[in-house]
Amino acid sequence: MTAPTSLLPVSTVAAPASLQLRNFIGGEHIDGVSAFAKLNPIDGSLIADVHEAGPDEVDRAVASARAAFDGPWGRMTVTERAGILRRIADAIERRFDDLVAAEVGDTGKPEALARDLDVARAAANFRAFADIVSAAGIDSFLTEFADGRRALNYAVRKPLGVVAVIVPWNLPLLLLTWKLAPALATGNTVVVKPSEETPSSATLLAEILMEAGVPAGVVNVVHGFGANSAGEYLTTHPGIDGVTFTGASETGSAIMRAVAPRVRPVSFELGGKNAAIVFADANLDAAVAGLARSTYLNTGQVCLCTERIYVERAIFDDVAAGLADHAARLRLGRPADPATTTGPLISQSHREKVLSYFHLAQTEGATILAGGGIPHLGDDLNGGSWIEPTLWTGLDNSHRTVREEIFGPVAALIPFDTEEEAIRLANDTDYGLAAVTWTSDLTRGHRVAQSMRVGMSWVNTWYLRDLRSPFGGVGLSGIGREGGQHSLDFYTEPTNVCVQL
Ligand code: NAD
């Protein structure tokens, strides 16, 4: 795996030259106030020195986005912008291998996953929102009054202006483009703050956008951390007109406080503690394979991943044995190895957090059916942040391991006896992002899926997405929905015009 060539320039320091990732502001690579090391989660080696933006760089990025908003971008027709979005999708496909390399380098995820999920979805996001914005209508009402007057009411959509886009590390390019595509489609300009753990693909994408015809300043990228760093400088900046954020619930809470004095709109896609319910009438093989995917995909680091599995008692032992077998057969290894199914966690500090839950589960009385610790993969990989795919029984909803988001490759299996009990247990959480129901009784499938207190409820599948459908969560899992028309609603402000006829 080689580093993407366009990111290569440039250390003036003597060998070994390290990759320098700078901020991207007004179409130029801009130095930061300091630099931090981005390490490869595979083996702990250095990937890049990342230039951290200070208040001045963030200020410059917001000013650049404002100038671009006031320039040609803000006056473009929807058709012109949709055309640029389609060119961006084409450009992503031309630079597919470079983006895969950037994503795999930062995250350590299997190359096949980066290809099939992350980078493929990035192109799809731009195409989908080119179509969605092109087909969007406007509200209009012919209003009639008792005295015979008539009026035409219609709403026009206007972009918010300069939008702060703050994204996490788990699906860096996918989640960034999920927000960037509708923000651009509706005429906004943006300042992006990628995660400090995954700075590479965002920097490369900013260059690709310009190659595809996005004017300088429309998309700016600032690097850094959250509190007392680029994230906080951006969310407290008076020049931003809205914040779209994906990340942890406590960070959403901090961002809400940051924007409260200036009352800016927020869209929050936050954490989860997602449940699956498996009824005895489910197709057992399909359910076990589906649960393995929803628990262990991306090393459990997908916000939609299942961490609580409620199983009808009659099939509890079969599901437990089947899922433990799947977990044991997962292959941890290098991203380029086609046999690899599972990469490392994103960082040593995240591994410490996940391991602390592994220890807590033992204190809470868990029985470990699979994994439970750190694997030994050999000297060259022992510096990485590897962890074993893990499965527990013996816990219930009173335990912290079943209530708090772990964000790793682990789930607790819990038995139930009735449909009502399963619904009650699944909904017994402060989060509310996603749920899965496994059953062969489709009437029950609809009934249970609809009674889940979540944003997304799947039946006999997981993470099957239509980009026109609403995406988001309730409770600690978020505020608002994005996807299709819902994204257009967040990234625009309607102005109602009333004309007396
Ligand atoms: P995080 O909240 O720690 O960081 C996310 C981003 O916010 C990063 O860019 C970070 O630098 C920035 N940030 C942190 N503190 C900030 C502050 N005070 N002000 C401004 N910016 C700040 O989350 P993470 O660890 O990167 O990602 C994992 C979390 O994201 C999990 O909780 C996961 O469930 C959630 N997530 C949710 C979704 C969803 O769609 N609901 C999708 C993916 C991940």
Kindly provide the ipTM of the predicted complex, given to two decimals: 0.97
Q: Please, which residues have CB within 8 angstroms of residue 202's CB and are 6 or more apart in sequence? A: 167, 172, 173, 176, 192, 194, 221
CB 263 near ligand 1, within 6 Å: no
In this prediction, residues 131-146 reach a mean pLDDT of 95
Cβ contact 108:343 at 8 Å: yes
Distance 224 CA to ligand 1 centre (A): 13
Per-residue pLDDT band for 138 (boundaries 50, 70, 90) equals confident
The ligand 1 atom at the shortest distance from the C-alpha of residue 193 is 9
In this prediction, residues 461-469 reach a mean pLDDT of 97
Probe target for ligand 1 pocket from 303, 304, 351, 406, with the most ligand atoms within 8 Å of CB: 303
Per-residue pLDDT band for 16 (boundaries 50, 70, 90) equals low
Distance 167 CA to ligand 1 centre (A): 6
DSSP letter assigned to residue 144: E
In this prediction, residues 253-259 reach a mean pLDDT of 98
CB 277 near ligand 1, within 6 Å: no
**DSSP H helices in 215-315:** 230-235, 249-259, 284-296
Query: Phi then psi for 481, rounded to 5 degrees?
Result: -130, 145
Assess whether pLDDT exceeds 90 at residue 58: yes
pLDDT of residue 74: 87
For residue 54, the Cα-to-chain-centroid distance in whole angstroms is 25
CB 482 near ligand 1, within 6 Å: no
Q: Please, which residues have CB within 8 angstroms of residue 24's CB and are 6 or more apart in sequence? A: 30, 203, 206, 207, 219, 220, 221
Superfamily assignment of 274-465 in CATH?
Aldehyde Dehydrogenase; Chain A, domain 2 (3.40.309.10)
CB 168 near ligand 1, within 6 Å: yes
Cβ contact 305:271 at 8 Å: no
Assess whether pLDDT exceeds 80 at residue 298: yes
Torsion of CA 156, 162, 167, 172, to 10 degrees: 80
Please say if 269 is a catalytic residue.
yes
Assess whether pLDDT exceeds 70 at residue 114: yes
CB 429 near ligand 1, within 6 Å: no
Among the listed residues 52, 197, 207, 269, the single catalytic one is 269
pLDDT of residue 6: 38
Q: What percent of the chain has pLDDT over 90?
A: 95
Query: Phi then psi for 22, rounded to 5 degrees?
Result: -100, 165
The ligand 1 atom at the shortest distance from the C-alpha of residue 251 is 2
Distance 246 CA to ligand 1 centre (A): 5
Q: What is the CATH number of domain 5-270+477-500?
A: 3.40.605.10
pLDDT of residue 379: 79
Cα separation, 169 vs 176, in Å, equals: 10
pLDDT of residue 378: 87
pLDDT of residue 17: 62
For the stretch 206-247, pLDDT in tens is 999 999 999 999 999 999 999 999 999 999 999 999 999 999
Cα separation, 158 vs 29, in Å, equals: 30
pLDDT of residue 380: 87
Please state at what angle helix 78-94 crosses helix 120-135, rounded to 10 degrees: 170
Could you give the 3-state DSSP secondary structure of residue 434?
Answer: strand
Beta-strand pair 367-370/390-393: antiparallel
Assess whether pLDDT exceeds 90 at residue 8: no
In this prediction, residues 344-367 reach a mean pLDDT of 98
Q: What percent of the chain has pLDDT over 70?
A: 97
The ligand 1 atom at the shortest distance from the C-alpha of residue 346 is 25
pLDDT of residue 312: 98
In this prediction, residues 258-283 reach a mean pLDDT of 98
Domain ranges for the chain, please list them. 5-270+477-500, 274-465
Cβ contact 413:346 at 8 Å: no
Could you give the 3-state DSSP secondary structure of residue 310?
Answer: strand
Per-residue pLDDT band for 337 (boundaries 50, 70, 90) equals very high
Average pLDDT, the chain: 95
Distance 479 CA to ligand 1 centre (A): 14
The ligand 1 atom at the shortest distance from the C-alpha of residue 249 is 32
